[in-house]
Amino acid sequence: MAGVVFLVLLCISAGTMVGVRGEDPYLFFTWNVTYGTLSPLGVPQQVILINNQFPGPNINSTSNNNIVINVFNNLDEPFLLTWSGIQQRKNSWQDGVLGTNCPILPGTNFTYHFQVKDQIGSYFYYPTTGMHRTAGGFGGLRINSRLLIPVPYADPEDDYTVILNDWYTKSHTALQKLLDSGRTLARPDGVLVNGKNAMGDGKDEPLFTMKPGKTYKYRICNAGLKNTLNFRIQGHTMKLVEMEGSHVVQNVYESLDVHVGQCFSVLVTANQDPKDYYMVASTRFNKQVLTGKGIIRYTNGKDPASPELPEAPVGWAWSLNQFRSFRWNLTASAARPNPQGSYHYGSINITRTIKLINSASQEGGKLRYALNGVSHVNPETPLKLAEYYGSRRQGVQV
């Protein structure tokens, strides 16, 4: 144990030697990660809070901002956060993935530094340690365009983040025990919209409000575990404006299939009767459909949301066809990996084909998932530590 603490101390001091340089503005955050008790599906359960919030705080940043987040781990287990979709994390100390990063030990803190360089769009962060993501610790991360960069739509009245999750009422430790005893996680117990599921008993507090006639940006992310979620808003259409960091051709959708890890930015205009409306997220591709709801309220509205929910699409084909309708807007501003057209995808000759096959099997009585028969095992020496001491060839398991 003393050895582990020693290694991690070395790890932390090595990690903090690399600072963030540059003249771009800085955003500083201090986050306190703790357990709390909430009842998102009506049953009290342990959740992971950041600064007492579930989901965690939104990071509202602008392209090229330097972000500094001092994370205090007050859980009883090691903890790490990753910044999904952020391309430039300065260096791999900021990745937040076990195996490259040392976890933040209970009772200690670690400061992430990264720059959201040349990026725009909607993203989210989440814990990568153990089953923590099933308990919380996730939240939205938005990158606004700098003022001098034109955006292909008018400034919305406000900007809302919607984090969707399939959700278990079992604690993350109970879920881990299931896998460790060779069993599966089975089906989730419900779907959450920003950590809640509206009961429809007239007492639901709205998650968002809209002024009549105004247009709002909603950033919708699926931070869940297993299920694609179909997202729709009663009586309203959504104009898709951004996905995966790029402005897109602005098609209008009645619903969107949001796959695990995906985010979309859409515009919604408050052009219906002034009352409450449900946002609905329901699981796809399973016989048993789980549904989560959240309330949007018109500021001049009086009536509750209609209990009649908009129907979800059925089948895989619908989802594939919807995906085919997404197109980059090639004339809009965006950070792009490389000049438009220079890849000439259609004319590249295939020289090698790699198949990835997923599987599940028992390993010493535990259930483990694998790609091409290989499952993740944490190396005995964290990779970054091995790199720091140049001991790559001395018995480090990769």
Q: Does 46 participate in binding ligand NAG (rule CB under 6 A)?
A: no
Which residue, 16 or 39, has its beta carbon nearer to ligand NAG? 16
Question: Can you read off the two tokens belonging to residue 37?
Answer: 């008790």
Question: Can you read off the two tokens belonging to residue 384?
Answer: 């970054």
Q: Does 109 participate in binding ligand NAG (rule CB under 6 A)?
A: yes
Decide if 26 contacts 61 (C-beta within 8 A): no
Q: How far apart are the first and last CA of the chain?
A: 22
Binding mask 10-29 for ligand NAG (x = CB under 6 A): --x---x-------------
Which residue, 62 or 87, has its beta carbon nearer to ligand NAG? 62
Which residue, 72 or 388, has its beta carbon nearer to ligand NAG? 72
- Alpha-carbon distances of 138 from 83, 110, 274, rounded to whole Å: 10, 17, 32
- State the nearest-atom distance from the C-beta of 159 to ligand NAG, in Å: 5
Dihedral sign, Cα of residue 202, residue 203, residue 206, residue 207: negative
The neighbouring-strand residues paired with 275 are 303
- State the nearest-atom distance from the C-beta of 389 to ligand NAG, in Å: 19
Q: Does 322 participate in binding ligand NAG (rule CB under 6 A)?
A: no
By CB under 6 A, name the one of 32, 46, 209, 306 that touches ligand NAG: 32
What 88-95 contacts at long range (C-beta under 8 Å, 24+ apart), as own/partner pairs, is 88/114, 88/115, 88/116, 88/117, 88/118, 88/119, 89/114, 90/18, 90/20, 90/114, 90/115, 91/18, 92/384, 93/14, 93/15, 93/18, 93/384
Interface stretch with ligand NAG, choices 107-115, 178-186, 268-276, 359-367 (CB under 6 A): 107-115
Which residue, 127 or 188, has its beta carbon nearer to ligand NAG? 127
Decide if 193 contacts 278 (C-beta within 8 A): no
Which residue, 340 or 347, has its beta carbon nearer to ligand NAG? 347
- Which amino acid is present at 294? G
Which residue, 288 or 347, has its beta carbon nearer to ligand NAG? 347
Residue that has been written with the tokens 């040349």 in this structure? 118
Q: Does 370 participate in binding ligand NAG (rule CB under 6 A)?
A: no
Q: Does 209 participate in binding ligand NAG (rule CB under 6 A)?
A: no
- State the nearest-atom distance from the C-beta of 111 to ligand NAG, in Å: 3
| Strand, helix or coil for residue 4 | helix
**What part of residues 47-106 is at the interface with ligand NAG (CB under 6 A)?**
60, 62, 70, 72, 74
Which residue, 164 or 267, has its beta carbon nearer to ligand NAG? 267
d(CA 54, CA 127): 13
Which residue, 110 or 277, has its beta carbon nearer to ligand NAG? 110
- Which amino acid is present at 217? K
- State the nearest-atom distance from the C-beta of 264 to ligand NAG, in Å: 15
By CB under 6 A, name the one of 92, 111, 173, 237 that touches ligand NAG: 111
Decide if 11 contacts 382 (C-beta within 8 A): yes
Residue nearest to ligand NAG (CB): 152
Which residue, 110 or 114, has its beta carbon nearer to ligand NAG? 110
Q: Give the interface size with ligand NAG as a residue count (CB under 6 A).
A: 24
d(CA 154, CA 307): 33
Q: Does 37 participate in binding ligand NAG (rule CB under 6 A)?
A: no
34 contacts: CB under 8 Å, gap ≥ 6: 48, 49, 52, 74, 75
Binding mask 158-197 for ligand NAG (x = CB under 6 A): -x--------------------------------------
d(CA 377, CA 379): 6
If you ran DSSP here, which 8-state letter would residue 54 be given?
S
- Which amino acid is present at 46? Q
In a 13 Å sphere around the CA of 127, the CA atoms on its Cβ side amount to: 27
- State the nearest-atom distance from the C-beta of 12 to ligand NAG, in Å: 5
Binding mask 323-342 for ligand NAG (x = CB under 6 A): ------x-xx----------
| Strand, helix or coil for residue 107 | coil
Q: Summarize as ranges the residues that interact with ligand NAG (CB under 6 A).
A: 12, 16, 32, 34, 60, 62, 70, 72, 74, 109-111, 144, 150, 152, 159, 249-250, 329, 331-332, 347-349
